[in-house]
Amino acid sequence: MRKNSVKNTRINGEVQRVLAEVIRSEIKDPRIAPMTSVVAVEVAPDLKTCKAWISVLGDENAQSDTLAGLTSAEGYIRSRLARTINLRNTPQVTFIMDQSIAYGVDMSRKIDEVISRESSDAGERAEDVELR
């Protein structure tokens, strides 16, 4: 199976859906933040391993606690995957913290700061021109 085949894309989507459902409604670990989402899933072509990118709304402490909670519940999550999705092999899930949302928010804040600084500088220059 090729990496970007239609079959692999469907498997990635199905595993992502099941992981999101299990994390949201079945895991009762208090370390896992309530605003945890599965951003992307990449199942290897041999169906033995799976990388799941997780996004957590919260501070660094909440992110590290959520990652620790998900890692400790890895066996339960894998068993739920095996029962829900009929695959030849049930993939071993590796959770990776996704920083892209936080990065995007930070970049947007920096762009807004630059725009506001430039508009205030332009306003000061316009006042200087009017005074002359």
Check: CB of residue 22 under 8 Å from CB of residue 51. no
User: Is 7 a residue whose pLDDT tops 70?
Assistant: yes
Which of 34, 21, 37 has the alpha carbon at shortest distance from 81? 21
* CA separation for the pair 39, 56 (Å, rounded): 10
DSSP-derived secondary structure for 70-111 = HHHTHHHHHHHHHHHS--SSPPEEEEEE--HHHHHHHHHHHH
Percent pLDDT > 70 in the chain is 89
Work out the mean pLDDT of the chain and round it to a whole number: 86
Q: Alpha carbon of 49 to those of 58, 68, 82, 85, 93: distances in Å?
A: 28, 19, 13, 15, 6
pLDDT of residue 101: 74
Check: CB of residue 53 under 8 Å from CB of residue 38. yes
* CA separation for the pair 123, 37 (Å, rounded): 43
pLDDT of residue 123: 66
What is the tens place of the pLDDT at every residue in 83-121?
Answer: 999 888 899 999 999 887 778 888 999 999 999 888 877
Handedness of CA 76, 92, 51, 41 (dihedral sign): negative
Q: Alpha carbon of 24 to those of 38, 40, 107, 131: distances in Å?
A: 10, 15, 29, 62
* CA separation for the pair 102, 94 (Å, rounded): 21
